[in-house]
Structure formats: structure tokens, C-alpha cells
Structure 1
Amino acid sequence: MKRSYKILIGCLIFFILVLLGSFVFVQSKTYQPLSKALKETESTDQYTVEESSDTIIFRPINEQQSTSVLFYQGGLVEEKSYSSIAAKLAAEGYPVYLVKHTLNLAVTDADKAETIITDEEILKFVIGGHSLGGVMASRFANESYSESLKGVFLLASYPDEKGRLDKLPISVLSLIGSNDGVVNEEAYHLGKNYLPASAIFYTIEGGNHSGFGDYGDQEGDLPATISSEKQQEQSVNQLVKWLRNIDENE
């Protein structure tokens, strides 16, 4: 075998090993859903749970609201970690789609919602997410706005300049825990400049960054003084209030 071929094969093997090593490293750093979150992925008498390659759908059984909720996960947090919030919203009649992203990073495909909207024939929706997921959901809203989009929700998150929402005719809800130790405060406050004047802000006293999901303590976060159940309950209350207001103003 010629020396040039040996070098080429060696480089190819090295490249494959680097990719595999990177994948294993990312997987080892990914936050996994706790058992209580996995329990919420079971269908009940209030909603069914369906899973595809693109999303996990919490679909209400009885009265179904016209507005669907698309949810982008936080960085390196498996989407099932947000099943408790999804289940509670579905119990209120809202179809919820926990969007799946490669390596559990919404930054890998900010437009992933478009596939789900098309496949599910969704006519009216809000989109948002937790942490990095909220940033990417804002970018999707900015770049792919249509009249079907009624609002953006941000959980411990904010828009950047690429995801500015201040020029869009939509409603925005921003929730954050008072004990959040992960969110970049400078970027969070700067992000307010990219939100409409009508944006609603709500602070969950005692809540922290990881309390929006069920995946344990996140590195760098501050301790919460309320349970994750309480934080998620307040989050859902605010989301439902916001969603109903959107429906009433249609």
C-alpha cells in the first residue's frame, strides 16, 4: 500500500475516533430525566403521550385548546426532563410538543419546530424553551414568523440580537427563578432590549435554574428554597394565564 494511502486511512481513523470521543463526552455531560419526569411520559385519562423521532407529544384527550405549545430543551438536558410541565399543560387542554434536538442541544437545529408544525398541521402555536432552548426558540420566531405564531415564552432565558422579538406582533412571557445561578445576568438584561414593551416578566421566589425541569442539580446553579414541584406549578399557572389571555385577544 502506498504511503499516501496509509496516511489517508490513518487520518480517517483518527477523525472517526475524535468524533466518537466527542459524542461520548457530550453524552456523559448530558442531564438525564429523573424518575418522576419519566413517570409523566405515561398516558393518563387526561392526555396521551406519543413519541416520534422529532418530538414527544402530550395530547389532551377531552377538551383541547386551539393553541399548541412547542418546547425547546435547555442545553445538554434531555427533553423528557420537562415532562412534568408538559403533562400539567396537557391536563389544561394544551397540546405540548417536547422537541428533540441532536445531542440535546437546540443550537444544532433552531428550525426543528418547522418540521413538527408541518407534520402535525398545527395552525396556531406558541414556542419557547428553557435556557439555551429559549434563545433558539426566539431565533426561530424571528426568522420564521407567520400569523400562526402567537407568542414566545422564556424560562430562565432571553433572546439575543438574532432572535429579537421587539418588532413582532406577538405576546412574550419571561419567567425566572430568584435563585438562578446559571443564567448570564448581563445577557439576560441585554435581552430585554430585544423584547416588546408588552412583555410580561415574572420572578419565582426561591426558584432556581434547574427547577424548571426534573433532571437534578445543574452545575453552577444556586440552591432553591422551594421544591421543583412548586416552581413548575407556578410556571404552569403563569403559562396557562398567559395562554388564555392570548386566546381571549384573538
Structure 2
Amino acid sequence: MVTKKRKYIRLGLGIFWLVVFSWLFYNLQARNLESSVMESNNKVLVQNLPNAILFTPVVDTMGSALIFYPGALVDPTAYTPMAKTIAEIGFKTIIIKLPYRLALFESQEDEVFQKTLEYINSDSLNRNWVLGGHSRGGKIATIFTLNHSNAINGLLLVGTSHPRELNLSDLTIDVTKIYGSNDGLASEEEVNQFAVNLPADVHLVKITGGNHQQFANYGYQLGGGTADITRQKQQEIMIDAIIKQLERVQAN
């Protein structure tokens, strides 16, 4: 009797977590994307590969470029409006697809890092690279930076309280951190609390009224705050800050 009861409890818990995961996965799918965002045009070549989405300017001459890690479980195509806009300005942008949209285990993080290094090392223009990430993607970017800081020239952190446990205060590369006042998951208090783990000259960009999920194009996120500005406005401010970082890195 007890054994059967435990079986039912396990089954019930399994169904519960399956429903929760499915609900999260559904809400973190890309939303409100223009049909042309994944299509090449006269300014940008778009390549949707198994491990990444590449946005390469047709006139590809800029001296810096961006590699970006998505947030946990977020559909990587949710970041394509940002990536394509940056590429249309002239900066190559690569969105890495995290294993199972999460890269939860160290072996999966290593897989992401290996792919990142492959893109950097195979760059025929020998560009200066900025590595960025949103939410958990930002955490993964800080881990890469701790171990491979000589491979990149800039670190970009978007909508994340990381680095929390890692001390990156001695970094000599350009660091930019973008956060929303209404984030909900990475609060302004946490951003300020863990700023001690970043260099003193970090570029902090506060988006007043911005929340967690409007840094990309996807649905409701559990724990995310309510925005007081539009998604378009929030992403315009974010993209402007990223362009400025890419220009600084290029100039150096």
C-alpha cells in the first residue's frame, strides 16, 4: 500500500514538473517577430546553423563583433531583432544556441565555450570580440571571461545580477552592464550589490521602466517585472549601448 502510494506521489510530481516545464518552454518561445528577421537582405547575410545564428554584414569591415548567449530556456530567435539591427549597422553578430536552451551542466558549458572559441579563432578579419549574455547567458559569459579573458576585448551583461560568486574586478577589457529598473529577476539592488565584482570603470546602463523579458522578444517570464516602457524603446536603448561598446572596443 505504501509502495503504491509513493508511486502515485512520484507520478504526480513528474506530471506537475512536466506541466511547469512545458508552460515555461511555451512562454519563452519567440513572439512578435517580423517574418523577414531570419531572412538575408542587401545589408545582412543570415545563417541559421545547428549551433548558432549568424548575422554577417554584406560589407563586413568593422573591427569588432558580438557573440551573444541567450537566457535560460529562451528561444534564441527571440534575440534576432537585436542581432540583425546591430549587423545592419555593420557589426557581425552571432547568437549561440545553448544546449537544451540551458547549458545546465559543466560539460555543456564547455561545449558552448569551445564553439565560442572556434568562431573567434576562425575570424579572418582578426576582430576584437565582445561576449555578451542575457540573464543566465550573462552568467555563462562571466565564466567564459574568467577562463578566457585573453580571447575577448569586451564583456556585455544584460538583465543579470551576475557575476555573483566570481570576482572579475581585475579585468582590463571593456565591461558594459545593462539592466532595467523593473527587471524583477535581476533587481537594481542586486546589480548594485554585486557591482563590486566588476571593474571600477564598468559602463552601467540603467533603463528606467525596463523589465527582464523585454530585452528580447518572448512571452511572460515567471518572476519578471512589469515594464513601464515599450519593448521597442527598451531594445533601442539596449542596442545603442551595445553599439557604443562595440565602437569603443574597435577603437582600442
Same fold (TM over 0.5): yes
Do the aligned partners of residues 70 and 23 (structure 1) sit closer, same or farther apart at CA in structure 2, a change above 3 Å counting?
A: farther
Aligned residue type for 1:212: F
Within the candidate set 170, 173, 182, 1:170 is matched to 173
Q: Which residue of 2 aligns with 1:36?
A: 33
* Matched length: 231
Within the candidate set 178, 202, 205, 2:208 is matched to 205
User: Secondary structure in 2 aligned to 1:173?
Assistant: strand
Q: Which residue of 2 aligns with 1:145?
A: 149
- Equivalent-residue separation in structure 2 for 1:227 and 1:162 (angstroms): 33
Matched, 1:115 2:115: yes
User: Secondary structure in 2 aligned to 1:110?
Assistant: helix
Alignment of 1:15-26 (within 5 A): 26=21
Aligned residue type for 1:170: I
User: Secondary structure in 2 aligned to 1:144?
Assistant: helix
User: Secondary structure in 2 aligned to 1:56?
Assistant: strand
Aligned residue type for 2:200: A
Do the aligned partners of residues 217 and 38 (structure 1) sit closer, same or farther apart at CA in structure 2, a change above 3 Å counting?
A: farther
Aligned residue type for 2:234: Q
Aligned residue type for 2:33: K
- Equivalent-residue separation in structure 2 for 1:42 and 1:24 (angstroms): 34
Normalised to the residue count of structure 1, the TM-score between the two structures is 0.83
- Equivalent-residue separation in structure 2 for 1:218 and 1:161 (angstroms): 22
Within the candidate set 87, 99, 114, 2:84 is matched to 87
Shift of 1:246: 1.7
Normalised to the residue count of structure 2, the TM-score between the two structures is 0.82
Moved over 4 A (4+): 20-25, 184-187
User: Secondary structure in 2 aligned to 1:48?
Assistant: strand
Shift of 1:243: 1.3
Q: Which residue of 2 aligns with 1:48?
A: 45
Q: Which residue of 2 aligns with 1:235?
A: 238
Aligned residue type for 1:29: L
Q: Which residue of 2 aligns with 1:190?
A: 193
Shift of 1:25: 5.8
Shift of 1:22: 7.1
Aligned 8 A contact 2:68 2:132 in 1: yes
- Equivalent-residue separation in structure 2 for 1:23 and 1:45 (angstroms): 44
Q: Which residue of 1 aligns with 2:70?
A: 73
Aligned 8 A contact 1:72 1:106 in 2: no
Aligned 8 A contact 1:211 1:231 in 2: yes
Do the aligned partners of residues 57 and 22 (structure 1) sit closer, same or farther apart at CA in structure 2, a change above 3 Å counting?
A: farther
Aligned 8 A contact 2:161 2:187 in 1: no
Give aligned-pair identity as a percent. 28
The more displaced of 121-130 and 34-43 is: 34-43
Shift of 1:60: 0.7
**Pairwise CA RMSD of aligned residues?**
2.4
Do the aligned partners of residues 97 and 23 (structure 1) sit closer, same or farther apart at CA in structure 2, a change above 3 Å counting?
A: farther
Aligned 8 A contact 1:26 1:103 in 2: no
Aligned residue type for 1:91: E
- Equivalent-residue separation in structure 2 for 1:106 and 1:237 (angstroms): 28
Q: Which has the higher contact order (CA 8 A, sep 6+)?
A: 2
Shift of 1:86: 0.4
Aligned 8 A contact 1:106 1:133 in 2: no
- Equivalent-residue separation in structure 2 for 1:218 and 1:127 (angstroms): 24
Aligned 8 A contact 1:34 1:214 in 2: yes
